[in-house]
Amino acid sequence: MIEFKDVSLVYPNGTQGLKNVNTNIKEGEFVVIVGLSGAGKSTFIRSINRLVTPTSGQLLVEDENILAYKGKSMRKLRTKVGMIFQNYNLVKRSTVMKNVISGRLGHTGTFKSIFNLYPKEDFALAYESLKRVNIEEKVYSRADQLSGGQQQRVSIARVLTQQPKIILADEPVASLDPPTSHQVMKYLKQINREDKITTIVNLHFIDMAMEYADRIIGMRAGEVVFDGPASEVTEQTFEEIYGRKIREDDIRGGKEEDEQHS
Amino acid sequence: MEMNMPPKPKRSSKKLVKRFIISISLVALYLWTFLSINDIIKWDRVFSERTITNFDRVIPKLFSPDYASFGKVMEKMVETLFIAYAGSLMAAILAVPFAFLAASNMVRNKFLNTLGKWILNAVRTFPEIMLALIFVAAIGPNAFAGVLAIGLHSIGMLGKLYSEVIESIDMHVVEAMEANGANKIQILFYGIIPQVIPEFLSYAIYRFEIDVRASTILGIIGAGGIGTLIVISVANRNWNEVGMILLVIIVVVTIIDYLSAFIRKRIV
């Protein structure tokens, strides 16, 4: 579904983001990219929806080279690739509903979206998405009244409303505490299973990678240094990827608690 | 117990000399200024009997306003408020496109960006009173000239403040919208406007507050409002009426300031 063919990316300041990356991600896979910060995880993920543009090679999404995309075709690509961010990136002053319905922007005409004239099905879909991440009671709250974990769930609901074929998550749990992190990962995994959405997640916690991934791709200095099923991965594999001993802050720990407050 | 004092700061002799020269020149400057006052101001005229009788004639009248003229004064004050309101409303809307042009995170083209900043700077350079002179000459001595003068001048300040608000928004939100396939106009309405509207409104109200004060003076050159009345009353030496005008201005401006602060606190 997603195929990197000798993809490299050099940033204008000379930093090598990606270096001859070759990999193939199949439909419905749950892939976790691991690596230290600066290893190229973000660049890898952001290449897939062209938030950054690789400087050489070919990147195929559904058998089309997306590096040639511009304007309209790029927006079309982005409608089928949803993204979740470390800092949730919600419009803080808007309601949860307005944030979630903005997942439909790519599917809706400019005029209709400005005047909030979405079809009924879209509102139903948005509400359904909120229900799937158990936050439907906050539908008319302002986004800034929610906790970090709740905001991340809203941003998952936004992506669900987009009905993408691929979900990219760039360090989705780095700003959350351990129980909330597990909760967010659990929702991502569940969505991946139920909707068969190909999911690619950046993480640097090795225990979470091992727990949730089908497949782990390890990166260092812009290169893929490991690629294999999560079942084959041990702590030693991570030490090889990271190029150093595993430390305490590489492990998230904690288990999901029963939801009491949310 | 022995105390461990911090080391004394090092003072180079160069610095000392520099400081000495600066202080000497400052003292000299002040002495020269105050000593030359005597040559220009004729103190015996300032403190003459005539001044005192003039004061006696004017000041008490200012403090006993002519309440009978309240209706006339109030009418002109309302006109002043309307001038300020129309002017700031005009500016609040017209400043938006300039603000986007001048915001460096919206317009990536350096040339256009600098052009936008320059336009706003240039507009702000002209004082309202000068713009009003131009408009009075162009379209005649009426309130519309005042509205245009206030409006044009306010665009400069509001545009500048708006563009700073736009530059401080969370661009990650914009990135998130880009990532889900929204086009530029949708990003504007969903990602940018919700972030800037409260500050925009707050600044527009603040500017209205300034414009009320500014437009009281415009009538002096015939651009409508309460200033015209001041000129007429002063020319007639009708100090009771001037007192009334001042009283009305003070009360109305105070009320507006208070209301504006109250509303702005609730918006943001």
pLDDT tens, B41-56? Answer: 877 777 888 888 888 8
In a domain, A98, yes or no: yes
Strands A223-229 and A215-220: antiparallel
| Planar angle of CA B201, B207, B208, nearest 5 degrees | 90
Q: How far is CA B161 from CA B84, B96, B211, in A?
A: 19, 10, 16
Q: What is the pLDDT of residues B174-225, one digit of tens each?
A: 999 999 889 999 999 999 999 999 999 999 999 999 999 999 988 888 888 8
In a domain, A207, yes or no: no
What are the residue ranges of helices labelled H in B110-219?
Answer: 110-125, 128-139, 143-167, 171-179, 184-187, 193-218
Contact A39, A86 (CB under 8 A): no
The pLDDT of residue A256: 55
In a domain, A110, yes or no: yes
Contact B216, B132 (CB under 8 A): no
Determine the Cα–Cα distance for residues B212 and B116; give it in Å rounded to an integer: 27
**Nearest CA among A201, A160, A157 for reference residue A181:** A201
In a domain, A65, yes or no: no
Domain CATH number, residue A105: 3.40.50.300
Q: What is the pLDDT of residues A89-108, one digit of tens each?
A: 999 989 999 999 999 999 99
Domain spans of chain B, in order of start: 66-169+195-267
Instruction: Share the mean pLDDT of chain A.
Output: 90
The DSSP letter of residue A47 is H
Q: Is B201 on the interface with A (CB under 8 A)?
A: no
pLDDT band for position A262 (cuts 50, 70, 90): very low
pLDDT surpasses 70 at A257: no
Tell me the CATH class for B66-169+195-267: mainly alpha
Q: Is B180 in Cβ contact with A113 (below 8 Å)? A: no
pTM: predicted TM-score of the whole model, two decimal places: 0.80
In a domain, A222, yes or no: no
In a domain, A22, yes or no: no
3-state class (DSSP) for residue A51: coil
**Nearest CA among A64, A86, A114 for reference residue B182:** A114
Of A81, A93, A103, the CB nearest to B194: A93
* ipTM for this prediction: 0.84
Determine the Cα–Cα distance for residues A113 and A95; give it in Å rounded to an integer: 15
Mean pLDDT, to the nearest integer, of A106-127? 91
Of A79, A90, A93, the CB nearest to B180: A79
Residues in chain A closer than 8 A to B170 (CB atoms): 89, 92
In a domain, A158, yes or no: yes
Number of domains comprising chain A: 1
In a domain, A53, yes or no: no
Distance of residue A113 Cα from the nearest chain B Cα, in angstroms: 7
E-state strands within A170-250: 198-203, 215-220, 223-229
Q: How far is CA B117 from CA B90, B110, B265, in A?
A: 19, 11, 29
Distance of residue B196 Cα from the nearest chain A Cα, in angstroms: 10
Distance of residue B250 Cα from the nearest chain A Cα, in angstroms: 37
Expressed as residue numbers, the domain containing A102 is 82-163
Q: What is the pLDDT of residues A189-219, one digit of tens each?
A: 999 999 999 999 999 888 899 899 999 999 9
